[in-house]
Amino acid sequence: MCGIVGYIGDKDAPLICLQGLRRLEYRGYDSAGISVVVDGLLDTRKVVGKLDNLEALLQTEPLHGPVGIGHTRWATHGKPSVDNSHPHLSCAGDLAVVHNGIIENYSELREQLRGEGHEFRSQTDTEVIAHLIEKLYQGNLGDAVRAACHELRGSFALGVIHQSHPDLLIGARRFSPLVVGIGKGENFIASDMGAIRKWTDQVYVIGDDEMGEITSQGIELFDLEKQPVHREIFNIPWPAEAAEKGGHKHFMHKEIHEQPAAMRECLLGRLSSPDKPIVLEGLNMTDDDIRGLKKVIFAACGTAYHAGLVGSFLMENFARIPSEGDLAAELRARNPVVLEGTLAILVSQSGETADTLVALRELKEKGARVVSVINVVDSSIARESDGVVYIQAGPEIGVASTKAYTLQVLTLQMLACHFAEVRGVQPPEVLRDMKIGIMNVPEQAAECLAREDDVKAVAAKYYQLHNALYLGRGISLPTAMEGALKLKEISYIHAEGYSAGEMKHGPIALVEPALFTVAVAVQGDVYEKMVGNIQEIKAREGPVIALATDGDEYIPGEADDVMWVPACPELISAATAQIPLQLFAYHVADMKGCHIDQPRNLAKTVTVE
């Protein structure tokens, strides 16, 4: 996600913005910039790379002034470059905008503005906002911003300044977070409270389609109809040093809780109605290309591999295309036969994993079309793919992948549904139900997070054991495998994800009171078989934690403990079912005092084979 800081007051705005942006560095970024209004003129400095580059530029080309906005960019549209970095300016260069979010209708707005003579310098959606405000400006900056927000579809947190209004800073938001900081003789805007906690512990958390017109002496909050809005002052309960994690103890915990909002970003502009086609910009495949597919190969590592297994299951079970999920490191070793009409889908959070990149090159060389499902824009795997679908998760700092996984799954759910629709292999009502189910995932994820205390209570019963089995069947097998990976990589408990159907072929020999089993037994085609597996384990005195669907009255009598998930079609259960397992692993590791964000021996990105 991008980071925004704005300041108006008696201090030096560029200095405040730079220091504030440093507290947002954890969000990850690839470029940065600051604009100020001084002596009736707007001036801007922008760089590619880290804030140190911006600080160095400000040394050689100083910028000072009492009102300014700053930005760290996490690329979503357009690769990292000075032109694509924020702030973005109007044609006249008298107005600057910084933005976090995704403007769904930026293409049509850009064409419309181009037709009216506006010239664009970047590939970004954000620049459209600067030109739109310029077009609508008739002397009142607040009115122009409100009018522009009415025309924007999608998500935004905005900071706006104008050289004709040296005493005004504007902040507006829809879906993307923004707070207004309350100072004495100075005021602020920021993407999160941590960025400005050094200077104030009081903020207004403004709501969607609300904005602040801010001077150094006061703050006025309005809705987009210019009706005044009343917001209670929020007193930030934690000290500045806790800021980067937004009050969370670990980045992993923060990222687990970011999932509903990140999921909504992932769906934005792609799946807005069950009665409309899914639009996956960047896929770069025509309907004929999709109809011509004869096989899909998923290749990835670790968590991304588990997401690929979910994708492979859906591609075959729902889109009816022969499909397989491979470990990238193993694919090359078997010298795969790639037939005509093969699509390779490479899944990767970082887009830099060496094994996955090697697999991409191998499959491409053998004639496969390559599409990647990636988080980091313009990463190596993205650049070498024929098509890229970004998951829009924002930076993931914790080494153990959480939100990237569920957004990879969500993206692959959309992809499989899109392919099924184009190939005409599912009836309209089935497709519609699938789209409704996918659209409900963010709310269901939020419901799972609301049950964190229940999961924590279960973790307290098991965190001192040393061995675990995670069992699943069908589309829940990857859920079990990913749950086991989460536990082992942050708590160091030996956990194996296994096909429940395989229990009787060996693993059941391990069952004893000291080994606990997590059984993914959500409602669906394999539920009865999973109950049977639970009974087999209980008969051998193995403790069992079941992952079960709300309303299941049978499971509580079979398992020792239950973690509950909201009811949803089994085919799209993989994303929400993972959340209790993430929370379970997190609390087990926390109770063991493990170094959760940087587990021993692990790196966030493995760029060596």
Give the footprint of ligand AGP on this chain (CB under 6 A). Answer: 301-304, 348-350, 353, 356, 399-401, 489, 605-606
Q: By C-alpha distance, which of 459, 464, 472 is closest to 499?
A: 472
Residue number, 328 or 519, with CB nearest to ligand AGP: 328
CB of 575 to ligand AGP, least distance (A): 15
Q: What is the nearest approach in angstroms of ligand AGP to the Cβ of residue 389? A: 14
> How far apart are alpha carbons 291 and 421 in whole angstroms?
10
Closer residue to ligand AGP, CB minimum distance, 178 or 407: 407
Q: How far is the CB of 456 from ligand AGP (least distance, A)?
A: 20
Output the CA–CA distances (angstroms, integers) from residue 454 to 542, 561, 562, 563, 583, in the order listed.
21, 10, 9, 7, 10
Annotated catalytic residue 2: yes
Specify the residue, 112 or 605, whose C-beta has the smaller distance to ligand AGP. 605
The answer to whether the peptide bond before residue 62 is cis (omega within 30 degrees of 0) is no
CA distance 110 to 14: 30
In the complex with ligand AGP, which residue's Cβ is closer, 401 or 413?
401
Three-state secondary structure call for residue 436:
helix
The separation between CA 336 and the C-alpha centre of its own chain, rounded to angstroms, equals 33
Cα 167 from Cα 171, distance rounded (Å): 14
Catalytic residue among 2, 17, 149, 266: 2
> In what helix (H) or strand (E) does residue 171 lie, and over which residues does it extend?
strand 169-174
Q: Is 213 in contact with 170 (CB distance < 8 Å)?
A: yes
The residues facing 35 across adjacent strands are: 44, 69
Minimum distance, C-beta of residue 150 to ligand AGP, in the bound complex (Å): 39
224: its two tokens? 């987009």
Catalytic residue among 50, 198, 538, 604: 604
Query: Closest separation between CB of residue 129 and ligand AGP, Å?
Result: 31
Beta carbons of 223 and 145 less than 8 angstroms apart: no
Contact between 428 and 417 under an 8 Å Cβ cutoff? The reply is no
* DSSP string for 492-519: --EEEEEEGGGGGGTGGGG-STTEEEEE
Give min distance, CB of 478 to ligand AGP, in A. 13
| Cβ proximity to ligand AGP, 268 vs 487, nearer residue | 487
State whether the Cα torsion 535-541-542-547 is positive or negative.
positive
Residue with Cβ nearer ligand AGP (124 or 312):
312
Tracing tokens 């789209």 back to the chain, one arrives at 435
State how far the Cα of 256 lies from the Cα of 406, in Å rounded to an integer: 10
Token duo for residue 540:
């051998």
Between residues 84 and 479, which has the closer beta carbon with respect to ligand AGP? 479
Beta strands, E only, 301-364: 323-327, 342-348
Both structure tokens of 289: 């290309």
Q: 205 or 354, CB closer to ligand AGP?
A: 354
Strand spans (E) along 295-432: 295-300, 323-327, 342-348, 369-374, 387-390
Q: How far apart are CA 96 and CA 88, in angstroms?
A: 5
Answer yes or no: are the C-beta atoms of 429 and 538 closer than 8 Å: no
Question: What is the residue whose two structure tokens read 């968590």?
Answer: 303
Q: Catalytic site residue 538? A: no
CB of 71 to ligand AGP, least distance (A): 25
* Minimum distance from residue 300 beta carbon to ligand AGP (Å): 6
* Nearer CB in complex with ligand AGP: 183/302: 302
Q: Residue 412: what residue type?
A: L
Which of 153, 265, 159 has its CA nearest to residue 206?
A: 159
Residue nearest to ligand AGP (CB): 302
- Contact between 249 and 590 under an 8 Å Cβ cutoff? The reply is yes
Output the furthest CA–CA distance in the chain (Å, rounded). 80
Least distance (Å) from ligand AGP to the CB of residue 605? Answer: 5
Catalytic amino acids? 2, 604
